[in-house]
Amino acid sequence: MLGGKPLQIATRGLGTTTVFDVTGDIDLAHSPEVRKALLTEIREKKTPKVVMNMVKVRYIDSSGVASLVEALKASRDAGTRFLLVGLSPAAREVLQLSRLLRIFETFDTEEAALAS
């Protein structure tokens, strides 16, 4: 792959919660990695609460949004929760433009998400 900065996805297990710390841009080059990581955690491991920490995600495109929607649908099917933390202005804008912000549980901080 040319040019692209690598996306980093670090995973932390906190009891029955898994936190994904994502760093980089979620665009067409990287959204498949995010989608795979989230769906594995939700569909296969059936983790009760999955938190996606997006504090270090500066940009997300429509393919990234599609991955988040897929993860949310999978969590609803599995009866688990999928939460978003630390949306950048760009990420918040695309979710608002697509009228999808309201369907996600969003939090400003990881502490707030974990306490919910």
Partner 1 sequence: MRPRENHRMAGGRLLRVELPSDPGMLCVVRGAIERLTEAFGFSEPEVRSVTRAVDEALTNIMRHSYGGALNRRIEVSCLRIAKKRAANGEGFEVRLVDYGPRIDPAKLRGRKLDEIKPGGLGLHFIRQSMDIVEFKRDRGANVLRLVKFLPQEGRQGN
CB 50 within 8 A of CB 82: yes
Q: Least distance from C-beta 59 to partner 1, angstroms?
A: 7
Range 18-27 burial, b when 16+ CB lie within 10 A, else e:
bbbbbbbbbe
Q: Least distance from C-beta 62 to partner 1, angstroms?
A: 4
Helix runs in 20-109, H state only: 31-39, 62-78, 89-97
Site map 15..44 versus partner 1, x via CB under 8 A: ----------x-xxx---------------
Phi, psi of 12 (to 5 degrees): -125, 135
Stretch binding partner 1 (CB under 8 A), from 8-16, 45-53, 60-68, 78-86: 60-68
Binding residues for partner 1, rule: CB under 8 A, are: 1-5, 25, 27-29, 59, 61-63, 65-67, 69-70, 73, 89-90, 93-94, 97-100, 103
